[in-house]
Chain A
Amino acid sequence: MSSKSSSRHLTNTLLPWLVPLLIILAWQAAASAGEIDNRVMPSPLAVLKAGKDLAASGQLWLHLKISFVRAMIGFAIGGGIGLALGLITGLSRRGELLLDSTVQMIRTIPPLALIPLVILWFGIDESAKLFLVAFGTLFPVYINTYHGIRSVDTGLVEMARSYGLKGWPLFRDVILPGALPSILVGVRFALGFAWILLIVAETISASTGIGYLATNAREFLQTDVVVLSILLYALLGKASDAVARLLERRWLRWHPAYQ
């Protein structure tokens, strides 16, 4: 019985990796057979070797760390402001009247449309990238916080009030946990979006970071490094999603969907 369930567990863990593995094998086979021109698309082994060389020289970690820090700081600023604004408009009718339509208007601006203005304002230094990431991550967190608070079960709020809860205890015990599933959805979207914006920002103007690594490699026709950079973004995106899911599992363990 237990060996059966553990083998099923193993299957469940391994099965999602089967398709990526097959793709890489086919890719390697095609490259080795000379079907794919190395200049167009390097073989997986070549990408791996480029990664190893860059890791050995310390370049890889440098760029990875800088990109990671940028994404996290930008997300912390944008997500923090989004959370604060969402709490204000979600909790207070007056706050909603005052702020919501303004935020909704700004939300419709595609962040990438701001790039010319951002370059004019901040030049090409750090703050330009942080601004873009913060701008893009603010709105998913804002909207989901606002809707999360508004969709908290009114019956529970009424019950808690009749048990004498108000102010901070009411917020801490009822409203915030009720809104949390929605807020975490916003966090997941924002984290995914942070990487999209960061790669654009780093590609346009940077002297460090994974986007710079890719742009720089393009100048020298190092397709292996370009592909490596793209894969790094995929891995970083996956890692931040995994962190968000970990938070969901931890904070929403009461939820039937996580049991």
Chain B
Amino acid sequence: MNAPFSVNGVALQLTGVGKRYDSKIVLHELDLTLHAGEFVALVGRSGCGKSTLLRLIAGLDTASAGAIAADGKPHINLQQDTRLMFQDARLLPWKTVLQNVGLGLSGDWQSRAQEALAEVGLTEHADKWPAQLSGGQRQRVALARALIHRPRLLLLDEPLGALDALTRIEMHQLIERLWQHHGFTVLLVTHDVQEAAALADRVILIEEGRIGLDQAIDLPRPRARGTAAFAALEERILNRVLALPGHSEEPAPPLALEPVVPAALRWAL
């Protein structure tokens, strides 16, 4: 059965959360509750606002309206307990795998980093550079880097989007196992309805900045993808996603930093 609600996880409460960039409304006033230790997947078309919602919860952006509460308190203090995994692994290329895992730690971080690497099965790669790893291995390093902080809320922003099908399935098993072991709350943003149905307790569809569907997945774990019940659920969600005709893509949210000046001029004489 699904993992019981856990003390290691954060309970999130979003009330009337909205986001606009200039005149463009990306998220309409949106209410959403995540129970402690719950695994929730956000699905939807490109540009529906699901990544924006994740960035608001991660504190990378601020909401234009509404409030986000964690365990009943304002979520500003949540940064310490939240870890975010990006679409690309975002490992520092000039640090070894082990140093990447220990980023931001002090004291006896090396043994802890070794433990975290062992959890994702990469112990023997500790001294390699990120450039020497495959895409799946890099995401596992990023996962270890997130886990070492014992997060109570793990935010996953399409972390498996760039991986091949077999590696994805391996990563699903790994994420599910670690989630069951640690009991943190997970919010997964994904394009892949099957991935959402395979992993999540609840799949939420975001359409044009609103919640279009809130579907509980009451299947036993680990979930076999071939069963009729699974296929029926997957199809139900997929049909709902496709029900609304596609809209033009929204512009990407502005970057946190100033635009990069292309380093075209390399020298001066």
Contacts and interface: CB of A to CB of B under 8 A. Distances in A.
A66 to B, nearest CB: 26
B103 interface: yes
A173 B131 contact: no
A119 interface: no
Given A155-B90, A159-B90, A186 B267 contact: yes
Main secondary structure of the interface of A (DSSP, over half): helix
A254 B128 CA distance: 9
Interface in A202-259: 252-256, 259
A107 B92 CA distance: 33
A259 B86 CA distance: 27
Interface in B33-63: 58-60
B80 interface: yes
B266 A144 contact: yes
A42 interface: no
Contact of B267 (A144, A162, A164, A173): A144
The interface centre, meaning the residue of B58, B92, B94 with most chain A CB atoms within 10 A of its CB, is B94
Interface string A166-196: 0001000110011010100110010001000
A156 interface: yes
B262 interface: yes
Given A155-B88, A160-B103, A165-B104, A139 B263 contact: no
A140 B82 CA distance: 42
B95 interface: yes
A143 B260 contact: no
A147 B265 contact: yes
A158 B93 CA distance: 15
B94 A254 contact: yes
A163 interface: yes
B125 to A, nearest CB: 14
Interface string A123-153: 0000000000000000110111001101100
Contacts of B83: 162-163
Interface of B: 58-60, 79-80, 82-84, 86, 88, 90, 92-96, 103-104, 129-132, 145, 149, 255-258, 260-263, 265-269
Interface of A: 93, 107, 139-140, 142-144, 147-148, 150-151, 154-165, 169, 173-174, 177-178, 180, 182, 185-186, 189, 193, 252-256, 259
| A-B residue pairs, 4 tightest by C-beta | A177-B94, A159-B90, A147-B263, A139-B268
